[in-house]
Amino acid sequence: MIFLFSVVQYVEVFMIQYWVGIRRVVLAGVVFLATAMPISSQEAVRLAPGDTVTFSVIGASGLDRQTTVGADGTIYLPLAGKITASGLTVDDLRETVYTILKDRAYRASGPNGEDVWRELQPDEIFLDIFEFRPIYIGGDVYRPGAIPYRPGLTVRQALAVAGGVGRAVEDSSQQNLMSLSENRAIMVGRIDTQRIGLEQLRTDLQALNAASDANPHATPVQPLTGDSPSELETLAQRWLDARADLRRSRQSGSELVLNRMDSRLDVLEELESASHESLQFEEDDFERIQQLVERGVVPPSAETDARRGLLQSSIRTLETGGEVLQMRLEMARFEEDSKAERTNDRINLLEQISQRTAELRDMERQLQAINDQLAVLGAMPIGAPEVSVDIRIFRATADGVEGESATPGMMLLPGDVLEVTVSLPDGTSPAMR
């Protein structure tokens, strides 16, 4: 479904005026006209010719390689030889290499520098992407060309790297206007990112406070957005979910340790009780033997043996009592450390919230200053004629290169080509004037 995306928040708009045959392009409020691609935001990143991967083996620096997928879709790795990589995800390629090299022997240096033969294990092999094919952007943008790809790159971000929607002009005032409009688009994007990050920290702080006051296992993390979250909001929600999982894991671990300590304390207390009973028995026995010695029934050595047994019982009782006190002290210390950890987490979050709030206020002041300068140049979007921007994405598939309309929030893949076309109210393009 075709829809209009207003760039009063994100990008610039074009206003066309003529002065003695000189073209003047003034940015005002751009409206993106686009059609959503059904699957591009869901596609996995698959390797293709031009992508570079890095390979290494722990303890065998001589096997380190950076290799680029060739035109035939293959790469060459030490010990493994030629492998087809095109069409695979990095995880798929990693599994393929693990399977080929599993238990493969290679020569390595021993502790004394001698050559030794070792068998490769999967956890000793490292394979990851080093560099993807770039994104290419052209048409009505300030800086057309290649853009390095990174996972999660969206059309909006690619446009920002390319300087935003627009065309270079010769007049210095117009260049200043375009520069201000570009800065405004970047600043609006930074403010949005900062606000999402700030909300993310505040939500995490609320979850931390709730976990301290209630059962942490029943503390849900409230979602940041409604039915249609942006990419940044989705990433922020994933971060919050991971933080909640980590908090629950820590709490479960703490409870397990405390339960074990409590069980150990129960055993020690039972042992302490038994030691006291044994000590009482030894004291009674010692008094009985003393009486028998005084009456001449048993020799004096029996009193010495009884005294020795009483002393040993006393020592065992004292040692057991000491272990009980030590265990209680360790449990108290562990609980205090857990509370201190939560307090430190809370302090850290508060400091980050304070810092991000100050940065957000500064960004908002900068945005207001840019708006004031644009108003002086007469480029405020109020009353400006709208222009439309059509963004098309061209992507290589098994059936060839396919082109479709793109939305600003759409995620890109390596090798994608973006073509940006600006349409003026009369249906023409700035490039035609």
The neighbour count for residue 90, using CB atoms within 10 Å, is 18
pLDDT band at 218 (very low <50, low <70, confident <90, very high): very low
* Residue spans of beta strands (DSSP E) within 96-243: 105-109, 115-119, 125-131, 135-139, 145-147
- Among 179-188, 229-238, 262-271, which stretch is predicted with the lowest mean pLDDT? 229-238
With cut-offs at 50, 70 and 90, classify the pLDDT of residue 11.
very low
Residues in a beta bridge with 427: none
Q: Quote the pLDDT of residue 174.
A: 63
Backbone region of residue 113 per phi and psi (left: phi > 0; alpha: psi in -120 to 50; beta: other values): left
Q: Rounded to two decimals, what is the model's pTM?
A: 0.41
Residue for token pair 């708006």: 371
What tens digit of pLDDT does each residue of 68-127 get? 999 999 999 988 889 999 989 999 999 999 888 887 777 766 667 667 777 777 778 888
Cβ atoms within 10 Å of 358's Cβ, excluding its own: 10
Confidence (pLDDT) at 13:
32
